[in-house]
Chains A and B, each alone.
Chain A
Amino acid sequence: MSLRLSYLAAPGNPWFSWQYVRDNSDTILAALRDHTWLTARAVLIAAVVALPLAVAAYWFRSLAGPVLAVSGVLYTIPSLALFAFLGPTLGIGAVTVLTVVVLYALLVIVRNALAGLNQVPPEVLEAAEGMGYGRWRRLFRIELPLALPGILTGLRLATVSTVALVTVGVVVGRGGLGQLIFAGFQNNFYKAEIMTGTVLCVLLALVLDLVLAGMGRLLTPWLRGRAS
């Protein structure tokens, strides 16, 4: 009841206010920078770990089953539980957020990269073998380029879901824009602050997704003629 009263008692509580954005531009920009930086680092680390894992699972078929099974179980575990497991050990701060977020991004990238590698047509592989390509040359010249669409899909999905997931980091005090959303909620339901955080979050995901999509177009010129 008291909640309802305090909410009704605040008549000047618009969903968006330039006044708020102007007065708090420092805080907002710091949160946005923190969020972007966390996301970028997480996706980079995840990609660096995930690609060799995907290649290993592709080369050694017996590894593919366990890798997918472990990633499936890990993906089922709720993010808050993962924060709970790692928080007490890693402490409060960016390291915990980064670890959790990297783990989820890792799974998405491994799965999609593996799917992309498995889609390489066997005729192409046979032709490469006939031309005397060794395992490594075949990987870098044939398999990875042909798997690029799958890898990029994985990177894009991982980026978008990472942007959303970083907000859960408020539980250890480093949620980037989530910090704004949560502070707005606690600060007597300040709608402008909540909405600014949310809109920036969605926009950040959209912009990063478009950047990656653009990179994908540049990297796979042979797909451009086809309708996606």
Chain B
Amino acid sequence: MNHFRDAVIWLNDPLNWTNPGGVLDRLGEHLTISALAVLLGCLVAWPIGLWLGHTGRGGGGVLLISNVTLAIPTLALLTILPLTFIGFGRLAVVVALAVFAVPPLLANAYTGVRQADPEARDAARGMGLSGGQLLRRVELPLAVPYLAAGFRTAAVQVVATAALASFVNGGGLGQIIRAGFGLDIAAGGGQIIAGGVLVAGLALLVEAALALVERAVTPRPLRRARRVANRRAADAVAGG
């Protein structure tokens, strides 16, 4: 239990927070990388997912993508991408993380549009809405709970995997853990655990904050659907 006391001491040293490469720097890097990766993931996955859901095709493809990405180790993408045309630097890390954000975003966008009440869709068609209008005015609003659930899953996953960017010196809070393991456990044990507390705390915080956001953006009549969406989101990610 000695290491846990060391961790508390490490966390209570203000210099560990404010030094260059300290907690605040690493937190900034972590959040920037994660935000960019989620943004990139959304830009790619949402239009495709909504369109596939609208046309009702490609359900098998969506499932295939989420199963294949499950099998690719994060470490492999993080090490391979810098060696391609993307080159070393933050972009490679962002792209690698975005790849893992795509499946939950895609699957939920697809499911969100598919689950729209067929009667509402028929009514909209009967009122003379075109395909694009139908997607924009009927299916998209009804899919919001699913989009929010997918966003939350993806964001939490990206924040969690961003810790692995430290393997390729990509920055983020994971660096603190890696540096601790580099010091040897007897000397760095406290720092390792302190880094773990920071990484885990950030992930849980993001999860809680996005749960609130998800609730806020879901209109009240759809809140019951939201719970179903959450369960489906978990299923969609789990491939079930």
- Seen from chain A, the residues whose Cβ lies within 8 Å of a Cβ on chain B are 3-4, 7, 73, 76-85, 87-89, 91-92, 108, 111-112, 115, 150, 153, 157, 160-161, 163-165, 167-168, 170-172, 175, 178, 181-182, 184-185, 189, 191, 194-195, 197-198, 201-202, 205-206, 209
Q: In the complex, how many angstroms separate the beta carbon of B206 from the nearest chain A beta carbon? A: 9
Complex interface: chain A residues within 8 A of B207 (CB):
76
Q: In the complex, how many angstroms separate the beta carbon of A115 from the nearest chain B beta carbon? A: 7
The 4 closest A-B pairs by CB, nearest first: A84-B196, A78-B160, A88-B189, A205-B71
A181 to B161, CA, bound (A): 17
Pairwise interchain contact A198-B240, C-beta atoms closer than 8 A: no
Which chain B residues (27-75) contact chain A, with CB distance < 8 Å?
A: 67, 70-75
Complex interface: chain A residues within 8 A of B79 (CB):
181-182, 184-185, 194
A178 to B204, CA, bound (A): 27
Q: In the complex, how many angstroms separate the beta carbon of A101 from the nearest chain B beta carbon? A: 13
A-contact bits for B191-205, CB 8 A (1 contact / 0 none)? 011011101100110
Pairwise interchain contact A164-B80, C-beta atoms closer than 8 A: no
Pairwise interchain contact A198-B76, C-beta atoms closer than 8 A: yes
Q: Report if A73-B204 is in contact (Cβ < 8 Å); known contacts: A171-B177, A184-B79.
A: yes
A187 to B147, CA, bound (A): 42
Measured CB to CB, the nearest residue on chain A to B75 is: A167
Complex interface: chain B residues within 8 A of A92 (CB):
185
Complex interface: chain B residues within 8 A of A191 (CB):
83
The answer to whether B236 has its CB under 8 Å from any CB of chain A is no
The answer to whether B141 has its CB under 8 Å from any CB of chain A is no
Interchain residue pairs with CB less than 8 A apart (21): A7-B88, A76-B156, A78-B163, A79-B164, A80-B196, A81-B163, A81-B196, A81-B197, A88-B189, A153-B238, A160-B71, A161-B70, A164-B74, A168-B74, A181-B76, A185-B168, A189-B82, A189-B83, A194-B76, A198-B72, A201-B72
Q: Report if A206-B196 is in contact (Cβ < 8 Å); known contacts: A76-B203, A195-B80, A201-B76.
A: no
Q: Please indicate which of the listed interface residues B167, B177, B203 has the most CB atoms of chain A within 10 Å of its own CB.
A: B167
The answer to whether B239 has its CB under 8 Å from any CB of chain A is yes
Q: In the complex, how many angstroms separate the beta carbon of B104 from the nearest chain A beta carbon? A: 13
Q: Report if A160-B200 is in contact (Cβ < 8 Å); known contacts: A80-B163, A185-B168.
A: no
Complex interface: chain A residues within 8 A of B159 (CB):
78
A55 to B183, CA, bound (A): 44
Contact of B71 among A76, A115, A202 (CB under 8 A): A202
Contact of B199 among A84, A91, A181, A209 (CB under 8 A): A84
A157 to B168, CA, bound (A): 27
Measured CB to CB, the nearest residue on chain A to B195 is: A84
The answer to whether B121 has its CB under 8 Å from any CB of chain A is no
Given contacts A84-B196, A168-B75, 8 further A-B contacts (CB under 8 A): A78-B203, A88-B185, A115-B240, A157-B238, A163-B71, A167-B76, A170-B75, A189-B82
- Taking chain A's interface residues, is the majority helix, strand, or loop, or is none over half, making it mixed? helix
Measured CB to CB, the nearest residue on chain B to A194 is: B79
A197 to B192, CA, bound (A): 27
Pairwise interchain contact B240-A112, C-beta atoms closer than 8 A: yes
A177 to B96, CA, bound (A): 19
Complex interface: chain B residues within 8 A of A87 (CB):
181, 185, 192
Contact of A80 among B168, B177, B193 (CB under 8 A): B177
Complex interface: chain B residues within 8 A of A78 (CB):
159-161, 163, 199-200, 203
Pairwise interchain contact B239-A157, C-beta atoms closer than 8 A: yes
A3 to B88, CA, bound (A): 8
The answer to whether B215 has its CB under 8 Å from any CB of chain A is no
Pairwise interchain contact A164-B196, C-beta atoms closer than 8 A: no
Which chain B residues (213-240) contact chain A, with CB distance < 8 Å?
A: 234, 238-240
Complex interface: chain A residues within 8 A of B189 (CB):
88
A195 to B73, CA, bound (A): 12
Which chain B residues (76-106) contact chain A, with CB distance < 8 Å?
A: 76, 79-80, 82-83, 87-88
A78 to B228, CA, bound (A): 25
Contact of B196 among A85, A115, A195, A205 (CB under 8 A): A85
Pairwise interchain contact B200-A164, C-beta atoms closer than 8 A: no
A171 to B79, CA, bound (A): 15
Q: In the complex, how many angstroms separate the beta carbon of A192 from the nearest chain B beta carbon? A: 11
Q: In the complex, how many angstroms separate the beta carbon of A149 from the nearest chain B beta carbon? A: 10
A161 to B71, CA, bound (A): 6
Q: Report if A76-B160 is in contact (Cβ < 8 Å); known contacts: A81-B199, A84-B199, A168-B75.
A: yes
